[in-house]
Amino acid sequence: VENIDARGSYVIPGGIDAHTHLDMPFGGTNSIDDFRSGTVAAAHGGTTTLIDFAIQKKGGSLKEALDTWHEKAQGKACIDYGFHMIATDVPPAQLKEMADIVQEGVTSFKLFMAYPGVLLLDDSSIFRAMLRAGEIGALITMHAEHGLPIDVIVERALAEGRTAPIYHALTRPEAAEATGTERAIALAEMAGVPVYMVHLSSTRALERVIEGRDRGLKVYAETCPQYLFLSEDDLRGTPEDPFEGAKYVCTPPLRPKHHHGSLWRGLRNHELQVVATDHCPFCMHPQKELGRDSFAKIPNGMPGIETRLHLMYEGVRNGLISLNRFVEITATAPAKIFGLYPKKGTIAIGGDADLVVWDPNKKFELSLENLHMKVDYAAYPGKVVTGAPKTVMSRGQVLVHDDRWLGKLGGGEFLKRRTFDL
Ligand code: URP
Ligand code: ZN
Ligand code: ZN
């Protein structure tokens, strides 16, 4: 038996990142972290479970997508993992197939109101998928930006020669997320099913969630650290090179700073339930470069799988959330919502011993050389946080101690998740 000295530290459940995109194809390239580098980076940051997104090919089966993602993860993942299923096409055969996917332990589906022609599902398809989810106990999660007007705004900006990364933010207005959120909630209300909003970024979208919850609906929402710590200003890049802003192109876009306060308040007041990362990293060279002439071609996504707990603990230090709430939004709530509790997300007899010894006094700079994600830039360069993992364990095995990797490559197991039971 090994003794681990946790004096002066907190012992907390391993973090659960309910929203990642490892090895994800996008616009002819793939997100740069695969299941090996991505899960090693996650563990260094105190995350011991992730839920990644399998993506149905348009016209393809859900099973085919699930098989593809199992192949990506198998033998590579170093922490335990589950999958959500992105459904891009739901004719009757796939509506039926949703039940088989749930049987495989993939109990949540992501649907898109954005990206017309690529990922967008029309409202009747969304509604049918919601009804089906209700029958089989699956949870629908929603990318709720209203994509049809967005594409027109983007087209117009490009025709006017507005091609720099900042226009990514200026062409995806808050109104598009607010109306998408309201519509998703209305559809879920009519279908009589719960709904979970992914990567909520703005005040008005949050207000729609609060209204739904106040009406007694089962509406849940996650936000991400980038919407709490970064802003639209980061998309402007530097005076010498506005394209530096490409580092911060993610969707929904980073918002003006005044949104931060309402999102923190939402987390504090249990109006937002989860903080996940939407980790979807692309290198500046050559991946983000694909969009040097047009912001619309910049691969969408940011790195974040490794820095989520460090950043959220800043919220504890700054009095914005309590220590208990920090654990709840980063581990316990995602475990409960996504059918992993109490195996994951808590410290209890019978649960997996996924534990983090969290040193509240450890200083850590979120610089490129200190991080393990493969991406070639740091999203928070020079930022020094106080509070970091000292020891990280998965099922009782030490993965990381004092920033040294001690884990087994490929030691992560697939998690069959329960159906929605909150
Ligand atoms: O920019 C992002 N978020 N990329 C990943 C795809 C998505 O919509 O989550
Ligand atoms: Zn999305
Ligand atoms: Zn995402």
The ligand placed nearest to the CA atom of residue 52 is 3
CA of 199 to the centre of ligand 2 (A): 7
Count helices and strands in the chain by DSSP H and E runs = 13, 15
The ligand placed nearest to the CA atom of residue 276 is 3
Farthest CA pair distance, the chain: 67
pLDDT, tens only, 167-189: 999 999 999 999 999 999 999 99
CA of 363 to the centre of ligand 3 (A): 29
Model's pTM, two decimal places?
A: 0.98
pLDDT, tens only, 330-353: 999 999 999 999 999 999 999 999
CA of 256 to the centre of ligand 1 (A): 19
Query: Residue with the nearest Cα to atom 5 of ligand 1?
Result: 301
Is residue 361 classed as helix, strand or coil in its secondary structure? Answer: strand
The ligand placed nearest to the CA atom of residue 196 is 2
Please state the atom number of ligand 1 nearest to the C-alpha of residue 302.
1
Over residues 63-82, mean pLDDT: 98
Query: Residue with the nearest Cα to atom 4 of ligand 1?
Result: 301
Distance of CA 414 to the CA centre of its chain: 18
Residues near ligand 1 with C-beta < 6 Å? 21, 143, 199, 250-251, 278, 280, 300-301
Please state the atom number of ligand 1 nearest to the C-alpha of residue 112.
8
Compute the distance between CA of residue 111 and CA of residue 144 in angstroms, rounded to an integer: 8
The pLDDT score that the predictor gives to residue 1 is: 64
Is residue 74 classed as helix, strand or coil in its secondary structure? Answer: coil
Compute the distance between CA of residue 347 and CA of residue 255 in angstroms, rounded to an integer: 36
pLDDT, tens only, 276-291: 999 999 999 999 999 9
Please state the atom number of ligand 1 nearest to the C-alpha of residue 53.
9
Query: Residue with the nearest Cα to atom 9 of ligand 1?
Result: 278
Over residues 312-323, mean pLDDT: 98
Q: Indicate the residue type of 133.
A: A
Residue 408's φ and ψ, nearest 5 degrees, are -100, 130
The pLDDT score that the predictor gives to residue 27 is: 81
The pLDDT score that the predictor gives to residue 28 is: 86
The pLDDT score that the predictor gives to residue 277 is: 98
The pLDDT score that the predictor gives to residue 21 is: 98
Compute the distance between CA of residue 357 and CA of residue 27 in angstroms, rounded to an integer: 40
Half-sphere exposure for 172 (CA within 13 Å, toward CB): 28
Please state the atom number of ligand 1 nearest to the C-alpha of residue 251.
1
pLDDT, tens only, 102-117: 999 999 999 999 999 9
User: Which of 21, 168, 196 should be mutated for ligand 1, with most atoms under 8 A from CB?
Assistant: 21
Over residues 44-50, mean pLDDT: 98
CA of 303 to the centre of ligand 3 (A): 11
CA of 249 to the centre of ligand 1 (A): 10
CA of 150 to the centre of ligand 3 (A): 18
The CA-atom distances, in angstroms, between 69 and each of 48, 82, 84, 197, 356 are 19, 10, 10, 23, 27
User: Which of 20, 250, 254 should be mutated for ligand 1, with most atoms under 8 A from CB?
Assistant: 250
The pLDDT score that the predictor gives to residue 2 is: 82
Which region holds residue 143: left if phi is over 0, alpha if psi is between -120 and 50, else beta?
Answer: beta
CA of 112 to the centre of ligand 2 (A): 7
Compute the distance between CA of residue 195 and CA of residue 141 in angstroms, rounded to an integer: 6
The ligand placed nearest to the CA atom of residue 248 is 1
**Which among 87, 70, 177 is positioned nearest to 129, based on CA atoms?**
87
**Which among 276, 280, 219 is positioned nearest to 251, based on CA atoms?**
280
Percentage with pLDDT > 70 across the chain = 100
DSSP 153-213: HHHHHHHTT--STHHHHHTS-HHHHHHHHHHHHHHHHHHT--EEE-S---HHHHHHHHHHH
Could you tell me the two tokens for 398? Answer: 């030490």
DSSP 203-266: HHHHHHHHHHHHTT--EEEEE-HHHHH--GGGGG--SS-GGGGGGG--SSPP--TTHHHHHHHH
Compute the distance between CA of residue 198 and CA of residue 201 in angstroms, rounded to an integer: 9
CA of 140 to the centre of ligand 3 (A): 14
CA of 324 to the centre of ligand 1 (A): 29
- Burial code of 160-173, b = ≥16 C-beta within 10 A, e = fewer? eeebbbbbbbbbbb
Over residues 363-381, mean pLDDT: 98
How many angstroms separate the first and last alpha carbons of the chain? Answer: 37
pLDDT at 260 over 80: yes
At residue 15 the predicted structure's pLDDT band, cuts being 50, 70 and 90, is very high
List, in order, residues 6 or more apart from 127 with CB less than 8 Å away: 187, 190, 191
Compute the distance between CA of residue 403 and CA of residue 86 in angstroms, rounded to an integer: 34
Please state the atom number of ligand 1 nearest to the C-alpha of residue 115.
8
pLDDT at 363 over 90: yes
Average pLDDT of the chain?
Answer: 97
Q: How many CB atoms lie within 10 A of CB 410?
A: 14
User: Which of 111, 254, 277, 280 should be mutated for ligand 1, with most atoms under 8 A from CB?
Assistant: 280
Could you tell me the two tokens for 133? Answer: 């989810």
The pLDDT score that the predictor gives to residue 297 is: 97
